Amino acid sequence: MWLVPIEVTFYRGVMSESQGVTEPAEHREYRLAARAWLEANAELKTGVDDWSTQKTHVDPEALVAYFERCKAWQKTTAEGGYASITWDKAHGGQGGESWQASIYNEEAAAFDVTNGFLAATNAMLGTALRFHGTEDQKLTYLPPMVRADQTWCQLFSEPGAGSDLAGLGCRAERDGDIFRLNGQKVWNSMAQAADWGFMLVRSNPDAPKHKGITFILVDMSSPGIEVRPLVQPNGQAHFNEVFFDDVDVPVANVVGEIDAGWSVAKTVLMAESQFIGTSGGREASAVLIDLAQRRGVSDDPVVRQQLAQAVINDRILRLLSQVLMDALRSGKPAPIDGALLKLKLAYNRVGLGNTAMAIMGPEGLVEVGPDSTFAMEELIGRFHVSIGGGTNEVGKNNIGHRMGLPREPGVAIDTPWKDIPR
Ligand SMILES: Cc1cc2nc3c(=O)[nH]c(=O)nc-3n(C[C@H](O)[C@H](O)[C@H](O)COP(=O)(O)OP(=O)(O)OC[C@H]3O[C@@H](n4cnc5c(N)ncnc54)[C@H](O)[C@@H]3O)c2cc1C
């Protein structure tokens, strides 16, 4: 059989270097400066044993240590002038251009660095505050978020409100200058380590479900909050249940208008989809090719076929992400629905998990070591993206609605929340 040699190419400057496109001198200069800074502050990626690749930390202390390391890297990038590049300087950013952010991300993808879950919360809450926050809120919350002096978790899902998020029931009752919160949230990533949470609460049960929700910022050390980690089948406790028992939160912490938090939530969900969809940065296919070579199966025709598909999927997603991010960062309307990229990533991840196990075979389940830890993470984690940030099915429904297809049948949209059967 004729076999093309497989080359491991960790992603670097996809458009400009590997395809021989000449970039403007200003861009080239910025790229070289970013690369030099990364070389001085980080190590190049090598494979499955990288810090940025190994995400399964079954020991709670190891999970917190990983989170602390992500915070430290976030702080380093802020100090180096490479965090939140396009945000205003007053808000903790660099006041830079979209092409600078793209170039930095291209260069950083070759290095063993990650700010992990912080990148997700910063993208979600950062976008919401920049669109809906008062100037005072932006000045108060954005700079410490960029420096990782304050970390955040998302307090949206509830036992009875995941896909139907607008049906949420966690209660907020006004008492003068405070809201008193009672109820439960669930699946809250890293809530056990976060300093603050951004939360959706039911502030008006008499209004239709989308019109009685408020978006509020909550200090996780407030009396009355209990965080209970949820242990997954692989032993990791990434998620939590969070209980609220008479938790007082200042009304000043509301972002946007009281009872109009659904519009802020939509901004967060859109930013979350875009973030997840454009975050496939580590060229997972390159890690798999490296794994296949080391495990001696890189000439297995079935494995090669799966690896080729993984490379194609990576490249398609990378290029679509680049088109979307370039447009958004330069203030143009999104040329692609961000939810489509998230769907593409979700399907890619399922393929990567299956390929990792095809490479490892039964040893992936019984061996103890970095290769099997990586393969198990890919196997078990392959549905994360299909559920987190909204399931594939709900994503398709939303895309359909935005394309003008009729809504799903259900209770009339103006039914008061308290009268909806549940
Ligand atoms: C990795 C990960 C991280 C997460 N992090 C957070 C977090 O930090 N904060 C937070 O608040 N939440 C978080 N979540 C929760 C996540 O948002 C919910 O799991 C998700 O919205 C689905 O809700 P659910 O689990 O209640 O499932 P359900 O809504 O009960 O759905 C169950 C099944 O029914 C299907 N379904 C439901 N409604 C429809 C419909 N109308 N049409 C077709 N199919 C439908 C779904 O697609 C799914 O397959 C996270 C989840 C994951 C996996």
Tens digit of each residue's pLDDT (9 = 90 or more) over 70-107: 999 999 999 999 999 999 999 999 999 888 988 998 89
User: What's the pLDDT at 59?
Assistant: 84
For residue 297, the one-letter residue type is: V
Is 391's pLDDT higher than 50?
Answer: yes
**Residue 185 dihedral angles phi and psi, to the nearest 5°:** -115, 165
Question: Tokens representing 204?
Answer: 């008006």
Q: For the residues 161-188, what does the mean pLDDT come to? A: 97
User: Which residue bears the tokens 């950013």?
Assistant: 93
d(CA 291, CA 47): 8
For residue 45, the one-letter residue type is: K
Q: Which atom of ligand 1 is nearest to the CA of 165?
A: 21
Under a CB-based contact definition with an 8 Å cutoff, are residues 260 and 208 in contact? no
DSSP 161: B
- Report the residue among 121, 155, 187, 342 best suited for mutation to probe ligand 1: largest number of ligand atoms under 8 A from its CB: 187
Question: Tokens representing 70?
Answer: 């992500």
Is 5's pLDDT higher than 60?
Answer: no
Q: What angle do CA 215, 185, 222 make, to 5 degrees?
A: 70
Give residue limits of the domains in the chain: 152-260, 278-409
Average pLDDT, the chain: 89
Å from CA of 193 to ligand 1 middle: 22
Å from CA of 417 to ligand 1 middle: 20
User: What's the pLDDT at 40?
Assistant: 98
Question: Tokens representing 257?
Answer: 């208008």
CATH architecture of the domain with range 278-409: Up-down Bundle (1.20)
Per-residue b or e along 28-43, where b marks 16 or more CB atoms closer than 10 Å to that residue's CB: eebbeebbebbeeebe
230 lines ligand 1 (CB under 6 A): no
Tens digit of each residue's pLDDT (9 = 90 or more) over 105-129: 889 988 999 998 899 999 999 999 9
User: What's the pLDDT at 282?
Assistant: 54
User: Which residue bears the tokens 């935005």?
Assistant: 402
Q: Which atom of ligand 1 is nearest to the CA of 164?
A: 29
Tens digit of each residue's pLDDT (9 = 90 or more) over 190-235: 999 999 999 999 999 999 999 999 999 999 999 999 999 999 877 8
Under a CB-based contact definition with an 8 Å cutoff, are residues 115 and 70 in contact? yes
DSSP 160: T
- Report the residue among 163, 236, 383 best suited for mutation to probe ligand 1: largest number of ligand atoms under 8 A from its CB: 163
Q: Which atom of ligand 1 is nearest to the CA of 387?
A: 53
User: What's the pLDDT at 360?
Assistant: 96
Q: For the residues 44-56, what does the mean pLDDT come to? A: 80
Question: Tokens representing 299?
Answer: 């000439």
Å from CA of 362 to ligand 1 middle: 31
Tens digit of each residue's pLDDT (9 = 90 or more) over 263-310: 999 999 989 988 887 775 557 788 899 999 999 999 999 999 999 999
The CATH number of the domain covering residues in 152-260? 2.40.110.10
